[in-house]
Amino acid sequence: MTLSAEEKLALSMFAAEKTSEGVLGLDTEGRILFANESASRMLGYSVPQLGAQDIFYIAPEMVPVLWKELWKELRENDRFAFEFQLQAASGASLQVDILTHRLTFGQRELGCLFFHDIEDRKRLQSLHQEFVTNVSHELRTPMTVIREGISQVSEGLRGEINDSQKRALTLALSGIERMGRMIDDLLDMSKIEAGKIALRRERLDLNAIVRDVASAFQAVAEDRRMDLRVTTPAGPVTLYADHDRLVQVLTNLVGNSFKYTEKGHIQIEIASQPHEVLCSVMDTGIGVSKDDLEKMFVKFEQLGQVAFTGEKGTGLGLSISRGIVELHKGRIWAESAGAGKGSRVLFTLPRQSGQDVFLEQLGGLLHDVARRGGSLSTVDFKFSGNGTKENASLSGLLCELENMVRKQTGRMSDLVIRDVDALHVGLQSMVKKEAERIAGQILETARKELARKLQTLGMTLTYAITSFPEDAAQESAYLAKIFTPEDD
């Protein structure tokens, strides 16, 4: 039996309607042109109700910046998969896996979006993370007892011991230390998997971080008679990232190179490109076979190699590094000419403008605020004058201003992002009038305390306030308004 063209069409339609995946058809403006039964069931809206809405209504986190990114990705690769949060009619949030495809009808472009609920998986991950956290905490106290007991005997606090006994205790201590590192790594890994690591992104210079990490390894390099080289572009490589987490990644990569390199050199390199920064750690060590290049990033995978330092790792370092890099929306991978030929681990970090980073983080805050029916204000402090290019005195001014802001508001919940010549501040639960008052006070203090510096640099400090819902009552409209000067 064959199907006529008409029957085939009807069957396809039937399948789209009945599949357990939620299906949405969207135009480039985000309007919902098609919704199936599963989408309606999961979101709690009827099919016609969905048809009258746009994606931004059921996905408040789909801020305009993200929507643009999604289409950029779709036009390049025709498909894009991501994890996201939708909002059901009841107001409850729905964790989903989304797969988006692009299809074209002549000149028209459509997005076809498939999604399914991952609440159960999320809940399991969260339970797992809690479990690991609790077990780790519980292990620490007995480990302290063991470590302290062994240390006391080993140091002779409990009487004389001979060299052979001392050697055994030294080995026991290094075992305990490894266990401690393992617990830290396990905690990090489970947090990454449960999506519970919150990055503290700030404007920083990758060059400076690389230099710090390299100098921390200098003693090891001298000890091992190896050469640790650093190649960086002249001048700072600024980007928005989590300082401590980047140090963790670099320490992991450089540490690995030392472990698996007997002689030769290790080289850290930074290449700055317009849209991203490429950082790599290369060594002349034992190398990796092609099949193992991807396996290196798998949890607990140690590829059966023995470190030259005799050190045993946890097998989690590279998985954690991958997690951290991906949280920054970067990529990480390994290259090697083969066993015995050294290896190179590379990662990229996107270069975003301070405004984009601010909008991205504010989007989450705003979403919470909007759902509660609360308010939020953005204060944008800006230095303007002769030269507003990045320089030490300008970033010094911004630093002082940031301290004033933090002191004035005194809240951890506020979002403060330093830019080249501006400080973007997001104040939760603050109505316009209150924000005006606080910003006015900060400006007054700043103009007074920074008067001389401002004069020397020929600069002035001003601010602009955009408040939700006073200036724009819709999330996307509000975000779009923040950095757009009013034309009046």
Partner 1 sequence: MSVPETKPKMLLVDDDPMIIELLELRLITQGYEVKTAMDGQAAYEALKNFSPDIIVCDVVMPRLDGLSLCRRLRSENNLVPFLFLTAKGQPKEKVEVLSAGADDYLVKPFDPHELGARILSILRRKETGNT
Instruction: Report the interface residues with partner 1, using CB under 8 A.
Output: 137-138, 140-141, 143-149, 151-152, 157, 176, 180, 184, 187, 244
In the complex, the smallest distance separating the C-beta of residue 325 from partner 1, rounded to whole angstroms, is 19
In the complex, the smallest distance separating the C-beta of residue 209 from partner 1, rounded to whole angstroms, is 18
Task: Record the tokens describing residue 474, joined without a space.
Answer: 């819709």
In the complex, the smallest distance separating the C-beta of residue 133 from partner 1, rounded to whole angstroms, is 8
Q: What is the rounded distance in angstroms from the CA atom of residue 209 to the CA atom of residue 268?
A: 11
Pick the closest to residue 450 from 53, 458, 275 (CA basis). 458
Q: What is the rounded distance in angstroms from the CA atom of residue 85 to the CA atom of residue 233?
A: 40
In the complex, the smallest distance separating the C-beta of residue 201 from partner 1, rounded to whole angstroms, is 14
Q: Is the dihedral of CA 465, 471, 476, 481 positive or negative?
A: negative
Give the residue with the Cβ less far from partner 1, 7 or 177: 177
In the complex, the smallest distance separating the C-beta of residue 137 from partner 1, rounded to whole angstroms, is 5
In the complex, the smallest distance separating the C-beta of residue 180 from partner 1, rounded to whole angstroms, is 6
Within 10 angstroms of residue 127's Cβ, the number of other Cβ atoms is 11
Give the residue with the Cβ less far from partner 1, 129 or 272: 129
CA 37 to chain centre: 35
Cβ contacts of residue 148 below 8 Å, gap of 6+? Answer: none
Give the residue with the Cβ less far from partner 1, 83 or 130: 130
Backbone angles phi, psi at 122, to 5 degrees: -60, -45
In the complex, the smallest distance separating the C-beta of residue 244 from partner 1, rounded to whole angstroms, is 8
In the complex, the smallest distance separating the C-beta of residue 157 from partner 1, rounded to whole angstroms, is 6
Give the residue with the Cβ less far from partner 1, 73 or 193: 193
Give the residue with the Cβ less far from partner 1, 113 or 132: 132
In the complex, the smallest distance separating the C-beta of residue 364 from partner 1, rounded to whole angstroms, is 17
State yes or no: cis peptide before 64, omega within 30 of 0: no
Which residue matches tokens 């991906």? 326
Give the residue with the Cβ less far from partner 1, 140 or 290: 140
In the complex, the smallest distance separating the C-beta of residue 323 from partner 1, rounded to whole angstroms, is 16
Pick the closest to residue 329 from 361, 293, 302, 289 (CA basis). 361
Task: Record the tokens describing residue 454, joined without a space.
Answer: 């401002």
Give the residue with the Cβ less far from partner 1, 149 or 396: 149
Give the residue with the Cβ less far from partner 1, 144 or 289: 144
In the complex, the smallest distance separating the C-beta of residue 146 from partner 1, rounded to whole angstroms, is 8
| Adjacency order of strands within the sheet including 276-283 | 227-231, 265-272, 276-283, 343-350, 332-336
Give the residue with the Cβ less far from partner 1, 92 or 198: 198
Degrees, nearest 5: CA angle 356-357-363: 85
Give the residue with the Cβ less far from partner 1, 137 or 433: 137
**What is the three-class DSSP state of 116?**
strand
In the complex, the smallest distance separating the C-beta of residue 79 from partner 1, rounded to whole angstroms, is 37
Partners of 109 in the beta sheet?
104
Give the residue with the Cβ less far from partner 1, 99 or 161: 161
Q: What is the CA radius of gyration of the chain?
A: 27
SS (H, E, C) 80-109: EEEEEEEECCCCCEEEEEEEEEEEEECCEE
Name the amino acid, one letter, at 171: L
Name the amino acid, one letter, at 310: G
Angle between helix 206-223 and 243-259 (nearest 10): 30
Q: What is the rounded distance in angstroms from the CA atom of residue 348 to the CA atom of residue 331?
A: 5
Q: What is the rounded distance in angstroms from the CA atom of residue 32 to the CA atom of residue 50?
A: 7
**What is the three-class DSSP state of 44?**
coil
SS (H, E, C) 328-370: CCCCEEEEECCCCCCEEEEEEEECCCHHHHHHHHHHHHHHHHH
